[in-house]
Homo-oligomer: A and B are copies of this chain.
Amino acid sequence: MKLLEQQGQQAKEAARDLGVCDTAKKDQALEAIARALDARREEWLAANREDVLEAEKEGMSRTMLDRLTLTEARIDGIVSAVREVISLPDPIGECIEEVTRPNGLRIEKVRVPLGVIAIIYEARPNVTVDAAVLCLKSGNACILRGGKEAIRSNRAVTAIMQDALEEAGLSRYCIQLVQDTARESAAELMHMNQYVDVLIPRGGAGLIRFVSQNASVPVIRTGEGVCHVYIDRAADLKMGAKILENAKCSRPSVCNACECVLIHEAVLDAFLQEAVPLLQAQNVELRCDEVSFAAAKQYAATGSILPATEEDWDAEYGDLILAVHVVKDLQEAVDFITAHGTQHSEAIITEDADAAAAFLHQVDAAAVYVNASTRFTDGGEFGLGAEIGISTQKMHARGPMGLKEITSWKYVVHGDGQIR
């Protein structure tokens, strides 16, 4: 039997026991993991230094190198995050609904784990711990498949977590790492229907599209974000400019950042007068349609303003670049978002309650906002506690996914001899 298939089988078995494990035991294992990560950090750091050295040799970009690199402070943060997960309520065993039927059957709908969750991600070694502990708390075994750039770091930290699991009396196979980082191992994982209950890809748009088009195991798509802010004719323009600045600039690399502003033609000049100086101060490059290009030029002291091409309307820049498009009314804004958005996060800025209601009702996205930044689409900000990703599909879970979103349910039916 191939190693990966064996891992799948081990994960399935581990999931069976973990799924019926009580909260205290899971929390003990999480505490053992936190302690072990703290105590054995030098092993993890040493492995990470090797990964970083190798990546430097391969000419990895600065941003990517920064994501790959662990530091004492980052490990402190990761250890704290594990302890935060301990403090979250255990979703498993919760009675979601209960009904007694006319025939006397008492039916409880009880929350249970999904089983085995596979996660394919890229070069961030912190994801290995984040994902593992969220799966553990929610009673799911996990199979982690990180990028080849972080393989040494991931091996080291997985071994540390597995030892902690055993110390706490759980199977080390509750958390497993795919050892082979060749493309084939991802493809194999995508077809292990017998062992994998759900596959969550976390990473760039290319990875996510590849996985969701090719996997036969159930997939939750996450984190594709071409988000818009629409400045309505009835917008408070100062508020709109500040929200746009925040949505674009506060963390441009993340999926809930704004990539395109839509501006009602009636307020084009007035809005650009407010917004362009704020954006230019943050070195945002504007990619403008014809009408806004001419208008924006007037308010641009420095920085680059370029004419947009068709590609700009579908681009997830992940950078300090903003597409600018003028619309003649709210309907055109909604249609543009339908055509070019990724159903992630969409905002309208308006003081007109009817316009707000129409936008919120008609725009089809995981989160729709009136007068707030798209950057709030996040498990922590929504009050879900930790987050395993942001779903951009409608099946199973939509938007930020906390612990409850990686669970299922079963019906527990109590009778005293009922037949049908």
Contact = CB atoms under 8 A, between A and B. Distances in A.
A361 B20 contact: yes
A218 interface: yes
A16 interface: yes
A419 interface: yes
Contact of A364 (B16, B214, B247): B16
A372 interface: yes
Contacts of A396: 395-396
Interface residues of A, number: 67
Contacts of A105: 372, 376, 381
Interface stretch (A77-85, A124-132, A178-186, A408-416): A408-416
A415 B20 contact: no
A339 B212 CA distance: 29
Interface stretch (A40-48, A238-246, A298-306, A318-326): A238-246
Contact of A367 (B19, B99, B381, B411): B411
A61 interface: no
Interface in A172-228: 193, 197-198, 212-216, 218-219
Interface string A308-352: 000000000000000000000000000000100000000000000
A112 B364 contact: yes
Nearest to A107: B382
Contacts of A59: none
A271 interface: no
A25 interface: no
9 contacts: A101-B381, A105-B381, A107-B382, A114-B394, A198-B395, A236-B417, A242-B417, A365-B410, A368-B411
Given A101-B381, A236-B417, A366-B410, 10 more contacts: A114-B395, A197-B393, A198-B394, A218-B395, A243-B419, A367-B412, A371-B416, A371-B417, A372-B415, A394-B408
The 4 closest A-B pairs by CB, nearest first: A372-B415, A246-B419, A394-B408, A396-B396
Interface of A: 16, 19-20, 99, 101, 105, 107, 112, 114-115, 193, 197-198, 212-216, 218-219, 236, 239, 242-243, 245-247, 250, 338, 360-362, 364-373, 375-377, 381-383, 393-396, 398-399, 408-420
